[in-house]
């Protein structure tokens, strides 16, 4: 399917498949707008995807909400004397396909119970999407009043320069949201292969997309 069909699907709140690149992670993610995510979508991602279910948000929104990169949190704590964390902080060369991780905090919405069920994660994800929408409308948000950490939904903070700076699923999905004219908070989940123990191959991801009539695009289509 074409990039236009993928953007149209995203605009309608539907799920698509997004492959990053052969020379990067070489992974296909299930991608859907956070604000549209239902418990059935979470179930599909954990069943047919199997990777981490994360929410990517635009750097500008993360900045307004005060959401840091987790590496910066660990680095700050380690500077205050925690030697264990000092050895854990990612260093140059740790990630073979990139210069750094986009992980921020892990959160649960405060109205969840355990936070891990399909219903709970869908609630947290949807509320993250609503929060991004409110921030973009100029509201002042008490993020800690609505969410708690640690939790079961990982937040990913996009690079400030998006695709000019980094070509990860985080930035690719946010770029898709911007082109679709929706708020830039997108759920991403890697598709894994239980038979090989690796990422699902691009060929098998394409077959899945055809079987379920879902758009499949690559990062190079967006670039």
Mean pLDDT of residues grouped by 10 in the chain (223 residues)? 91 97 91 98 98 97 93 79 74 75 94 98 98 95 96 95 82 96 97 96 97 96 89
Number of other CB atoms surrounding residue 82 within 10 Å? 13
CA distance 75 to 9: 39
Q: Is the dihedral angle over the CA atoms 120, 116, 89, 175 positive or is it negative?
A: negative
Q: Which two tokens stand for residue 15?
A: 């799920």
Q: What is the pLDDT of residue 92?
A: 76
Q: What is the pLDDT of residue 75?
A: 81
Q: Which two tokens stand for residue 128?
A: 């993250």
Superfamily of domain 3-222: DHBP synthase (3.90.870.10)
Q: What is the pLDDT of residue 111?
A: 98
- Can you give the residue ranges of every domain in the chain? 3-222
Q: What is the pLDDT of residue 133?
A: 96
Three-state SS annotation for 169-221? HHHHHHHHHHHHCCCCEEEEEEEEECCCCEECCHHHHHHHHHHCCCCEEEHHH
Active-site amino acid positions: 29, 54, 97, 108, 152, 190
Q: What is the pTM of this model?
A: 0.93
Q: What is the pLDDT of residue 66?
A: 93
């Amino acid at each position: 399917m074409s990039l236009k069909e993928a953007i149209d699907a995203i605009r309608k709140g539907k799920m698509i498949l997004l492959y990053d690149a052969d020379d990067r992670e070489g992974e296909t993610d299930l991608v859907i707008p956070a604000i549209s995510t239902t418990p059935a979508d979470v179930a599909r991602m954990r069943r047919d995807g199997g990777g981490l279910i994360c929410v990517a948000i635009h750097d500008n929104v993360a900045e307004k909400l005060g959401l840091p990169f987790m590496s910066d949190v660990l680095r700050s704590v380690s500077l205050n004397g925690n030697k264990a964390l000092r050895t854990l902080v990612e260093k140059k060369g740790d990630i073979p396909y990139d210069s750094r991780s986009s992980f921020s905090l892990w959160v649960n919405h405060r109205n969840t119970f355990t936070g891990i069920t399909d219903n709970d994660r869908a609630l947290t994800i949807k509320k993250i999407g609503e929060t991004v929408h409110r921030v973009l409308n100029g509201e002042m948000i008490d993020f800690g009043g609505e969410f708690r950490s640690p939790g079961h939904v990982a937040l990913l903070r996009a690079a400030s320069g998006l695709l000019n700076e980094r070509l990860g699923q985080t930035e690719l999905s946010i770029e898709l949201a911007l082109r679709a004219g929706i708020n830039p908070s997108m759920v991403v989940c890697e598709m894994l292969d239980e038979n090989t123990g690796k990422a699902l191959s691009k060929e098998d991801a394409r077959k899945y997309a055809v079987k379920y009539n879902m758009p499949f695009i690559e990062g190079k289509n967006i670039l």
